[in-house]
Amino acid sequence: DRSHNGRQPKANMEELDAALRQMADSLMPTPEERAAQMEAFEWVKSLLQARYPGAGVHLFGSVANGLSVRHNNDIDVCLELEGVDDQAGKAEVAGVVGELMEAAGMAEVLPLPKARVPVVKFVVPRTGTKVDVTVNNLLACINTKLVADYCAIDARLAALVALVKHWAKQRAVNDPYRGTLSSYCYVLMCIHLLQTRPTPVLPALQQLQPTFRRAVGQWTCEFCDNIEALRGFGAVNCESLAQLVWAFFEYWAWRHNYSHDVVSVRLGACLHKDDKDWTRRIGNERHLASGGPAACPPACRCLPSDVCIEDPFELSHDLGRTVDRQTRAVLHKEFTRAATLLRDADDPLDLLFAPY
């Protein structure tokens, strides 16, 4: 569909922008919500440090990088323990933490020691906060910092993310366990959009002279975190929030090349799947788990054109790997629906964010 070429939204862009800004503001967590999250965190922290004296306990994810939205009572906590590096060790600690939280009166305690990142899930009864505790999840703490640094460079990122996350929740395409995309993945897609505007709103921090360096296992995490020097980087780009929201959906509806492109926040550009050697490795995980693409049933066309988003640090990790052919079609339909509404409707917002 190239009929969009040169087309712009039909709605009055100033009005649309005002409405979207207001909506983004109303999606920010209230002070009460923030206080409840901090109270829950402090309690979890004190329990963990009583059991593991001297251990680091860090908040990461959206509450730590300023991208949490209202009515999402989740916090992500990382327990930093020396000498626990392998999967088995982390799984064991997850078991211990599960018992600890159970004994402390937490609700719905669910240890998942076999997950890719071993985790214990539970709910703090008084505040209703849902907590995920992971062990030595250093990469997640570092990518949280990377995202926070991007947020500090241009305020349009946080507003765009709030709207995209809200849209994804409303349209039921924010569930990696059901074949769609995680919040973190949408955040990377938003950063990528802002890096690739004709006049960029964001730089690629990993392409600049590094001022932050950490090695995590086989991965080197390096980027420029001298935000003071970069504040105002995006000021030469004058696009409004409405224009960026339109650009986001238009890109994922009509411009992204799903057969070839890997989104790379690290490079601030797209890579070709062949460059990543991902053409044959990603796709439907169930099929790959049972022996690679050769194990795909004949009717399956899950390879090679799913959604590919490179993790900024764990370069072999594709955040789009949860998507298969069927859910990719669902996602694409939703992106196209959103872009079409923005292009053609006089007053698109109610329908755009309507529950699925």
Pair 173, 185: CB distance under 8 Å: no
State which of residues 17, 33, 76, 239 lies at the interface with Mg ion (CB under 5 A).
76
For residues 140 and 270, which CB has a smaller minimum distance to ligand 3AT in the complex?
Answer: 140
Instruction: Quickly count: other Cβ atoms within 10 Å of residue 7's Cβ.
Output: 12
Entry field: residues in the chain: 356
Note whether 74 binds Mg ion by CB under 5 A.
Answer: yes
State which of residues 127, 129, 136, 144 lies at the interface with ligand 3AT (CB under 6 A).
144
Note whether 61 binds Mg ion by CB under 5 A.
Answer: yes
Beta-strand relationship, 129-135 and 74-80:
parallel
Torsion sign across C-alpha atoms 140, 54, 128, 27: negative
Note whether 29 binds Mg ion by CB under 5 A.
Answer: no
State the minimum distance, in angstroms, from the CB of residue 131 to Mg ion: 10
Stretch that binds ligand 3AT, among 38-46, 48-56, 60-68, 188-196 (CB under 6 A): 60-68
Coil, strand or helix: which one is 6? coil
- Quick one: what does residue 52 bind among Mg ion, ligand 3AT, none, with the CB cut-off 5 to 8 Å set by partner type? none
CA 47 to CA 32: how far, in whole Å? 23
Residue nearest to Mg ion (CB): 61
Could you tell me how many residues of this chain bind Mg ion (CB under 5 A)?
A: 4
Coil, strand or helix: which one is 35? helix
- Quick one: what does residue 73 bind among ligand 3AT, Mg ion, none, with the CB cut-off 5 to 8 Å set by partner type? none
For residues 187 and 339, which CB has a smaller minimum distance to ligand 3AT in the complex?
Answer: 187
Stretch that binds ligand 3AT, among 58-66, 98-106, 271-279, 294-302 (CB under 6 A): 58-66
Closest CA to 196 of 269, 302, 135: 269
Note whether 76 binds ligand 3AT by CB under 6 A.
Answer: yes
Closest CA to 332 of 272, 254, 279, 264: 254
Listed in order, strand segments (DSSP E) in 48-192 are 56-60, 74-80, 107-112, 119-124, 129-135
Chain positions contacting ligand 3AT, by CB under 6 A: 60-62, 67-68, 72, 74, 76, 140, 143-144, 182-184, 187, 311, 317, 319
